[in-house]
Every structure is written in C-alpha cells, then in structure tokens.
C-alpha cells in the first residue's frame, strides 16, 4: 500500500492522502482508469471472431425482424466484457486476430473483474434476451476461449470475486458506468449512428426499451435484472455454471443488483481514515490495518455485513494498491 500511495502523490502539493476520503478517491480513480480501458473496447472495432460468434444471436428473431442486427450487436457488447476480463483484446481492424494481453500483472486482475461485473450488470443486465443470447453463443464462446487459453488467456481469474467485491465496485464505479451508458443511450435515441460505442451500448439499451415491454409479457426492467443474475454469473465465469444453474453456489450478482444493499461513501471514508499517518506526511501507515480491522469488527456487531465489506476494502488496498 505504501508504494502506491507514494507513487500517486508524487510529492505534489495538495495531492497527499490525508483522509479516508483521499484514500477512497484514489481507489475510485484506479477503477475509473480500468473502466476507460473497457470503454475503448466498446468504441473500437470488434474482431471478426466476435462477429462470427454473435451471428447466431440474430437467429432469435425471424430474418425480416429489425431486431436481428440488434441482437448481434448486443452479443458483441457482452463479449467485449467477457474478453476484457479474460485478458483478450480485438486488434485495430476487424481482420486482425484477437490479442492475448501478456502484460497484465497478477494484482491487476481483481479490479478488472470488478469493473467487468459492474459494467455487464449496469449496461446489459435488464435485457429480456440476455439469457437467450448467452445460450445461443455459449458453446462457440467456450470453444474460442479454450483456444485462447492455450495461447495464454486467463479464463478463471474472476472466480474468487466476492459479494463484498462487487459492492465495492458498485459504490465506487457504478455511477460512472451508468452515467456514461445513459449518455450513449441518449445519443442512440436521436441517431443510432452517433453513439460512441458503435451501437454496442446505447443502441442496445434503446432496443431493450422497445423490445422488453411489460405489455408484451416481459417482466419489469428491475425484475428482469434480478432474473438474469444466474446467466450473468455463468457468462463471466465467476462461478461454476453448473452450480449456478442448480442454485448450489452463492451468486454475487444477486447482491450486485439489490438496491437495498449499498455501501455509503461516508462509511468507507470513516473506515479508511485511521490508516492515514498522523505525522502530516500524506502517507498511509500499514501497521494500522490491524487496529482498523478490530474497530470494524466491533462496528459489525450492530451493522450486519459491514465488517466483511470493509475487510475486503482493506485487503484490496494491501494487495492491489501496493503494487502501483
């Protein structure tokens, strides 16, 4: 932790970490940088293999339907997220082969998984065709991912993600992702050719509103989101798909989409504040972690679940942030 905070301040006046809010803002900044990387995948050209894979998604509708293209685009957007958390990236042109990102360090997977999970849920989670699209491409997707695994892709890095992890992500980056996605949706509503994500975000969300109407027998957006949690967990490979389908494994997406489960910024700030050195140096004192954890344990006696969430946050600082 000490190294990352030293690197982040760089000795610049006013940039030191002097409060829990400063530490929280640093965490948020790190996640926003990772989301910017994912944004570039949405706005770039997809690899031909994604186009080929997602062709089957169009089969959910008759060829004459206006939604055929939309389903393919929906599929491509979700696949960009799946490839992102697997260390895979499309080239600069459609004909270029998918690249395996070999420079991702071990500590960088954790925040990448968090951003991927929150983005999938926020942008695509309430689509009434999500489960059907995933089923259409599942076999081919696993085949392609398996091939990339032989070349160095990492397919299981997100399996250790926890409920506390995604609550952290929702608190720190969820609003940013939603704001960006809704802005792209607004552009799509005016002119589908003008949304920056090449229709993979805004147009998909706009199509969802037109297709998944309650008067057509579909659940409300909120209920559809809750109904898609198993499909999302299986799609990202966060838990074993067989266990998810049989309800044998906890599904962190159930926690992620629950609006009643939130992590207020002030709680996080309060929890992290004791980690700040009291000597005015603008640095963090790792020796205070034990003290912070003990205090949080006491607080958890009256606040259900609070301790486990903060525990993850502190470990995040120690493991991830210390590598920067």
Q: Is the C-alpha dihedral spanning 15, 16, 19, 21 positive or negative? A: positive
Half-sphere exposure of 27 (CA within 13 A, CB side): 30
User: Is residue 324's pLDDT more than 70?
Assistant: no
Q: What does the pLDDT look like over 188-221, one tens digit per residue?
A: 888 766 665 678 999 999 999 999 999 989 999 9
pLDDT over 70 percentage in the chain: 78
Q: What does the pLDDT look like over 277-322, one tens digit per residue?
A: 777 777 777 677 666 656 544 543 434 355 455 555 555 555 555 5
The rounded mean pLDDT for the chain is 82
Enumerate the domain spans of the chain.
26-256
Q: Is the C-alpha dihedral spanning 161, 162, 168, 174 positive or negative? A: positive
User: Is residue 242's pLDDT more than 80?
Assistant: no
71 with 51: CB under 8 angstroms?
no
Tokens representing residue 196 in the block = 């920056």
User: Is residue 62's pLDDT more than 90?
Assistant: yes
pLDDT given at position 1:
36
| Helix 202-211 × helix 163-190 angle, to 10° | 80
Which residue has 């999302």 as its token pair?
Answer: 232
Q: Is the C-alpha dihedral spanning 226, 167, 76, 110 positive or negative? A: negative
99 forms beta bridges with 89
């Amino acid at each position: 932790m000490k190294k990352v905070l030293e690197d982040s301040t760089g000795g610049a006046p006013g940039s030191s970490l002097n409060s829990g809010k400063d530490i929280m803002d640093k965490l948020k900044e790190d996640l926003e940088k990772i989301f910017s990387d994912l944004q570039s995948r949405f706005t770039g050209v997809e690899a031909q293999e994604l186009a080929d894979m997602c062709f089957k998604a169009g089969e959910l509708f008759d060829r004459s339907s206006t939604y055929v293209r939309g389903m393919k685009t929906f599929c491509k957007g979700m696949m960009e997220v799946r490839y992102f958390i697997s260390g895979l990236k499309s080239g600069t042109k459609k004909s270029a082969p998918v690249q395996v990102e070999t420079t991702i360090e071990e500590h960088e997977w954790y925040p990448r998984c968090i951003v991927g999970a929150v983005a999938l849920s926020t942008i695509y989670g309430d689509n009434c065709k999500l489960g059907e699209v995933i089923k259409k491409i599942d076999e081919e997707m696993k085949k392609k991912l398996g091939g990339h695994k032989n070349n160095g892709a990492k397919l299981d890095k997100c399996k250790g993600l926890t409920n506390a992890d995604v609550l952290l992500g929702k608190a720190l980056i969820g609003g940013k992702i939603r704001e960006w996605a809704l802005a792209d949706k607004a552009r799509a509503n005016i002119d589908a050719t003008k949304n920056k994500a090449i229709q993979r975000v805004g147009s998909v969300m706009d199509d969802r509103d037109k297709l998944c109407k309650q008067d057509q027998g579909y659940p409300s957006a909120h209920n559809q989101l809750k109904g898609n949690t198993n499909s999302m967990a299986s799609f990202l490979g966060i838990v074993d798909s067989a266990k998810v389908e049989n309800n044998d494994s906890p599904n962190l997406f159930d926690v992620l989409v629950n609006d009643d489960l939130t992590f207020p910024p002030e709680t996080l700030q309060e929890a992290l504040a004791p980690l700040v050195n009291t000597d005015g140096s603008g640095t963090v004192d790792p020796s205070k972690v034990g003290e912070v954890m003990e205090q949080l344990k006491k607080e958890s006696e009256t606040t259900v679940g609070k301790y486990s969430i903060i525990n993850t946050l502190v470990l995040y600082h120690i493991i991830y942030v210390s590598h920067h």
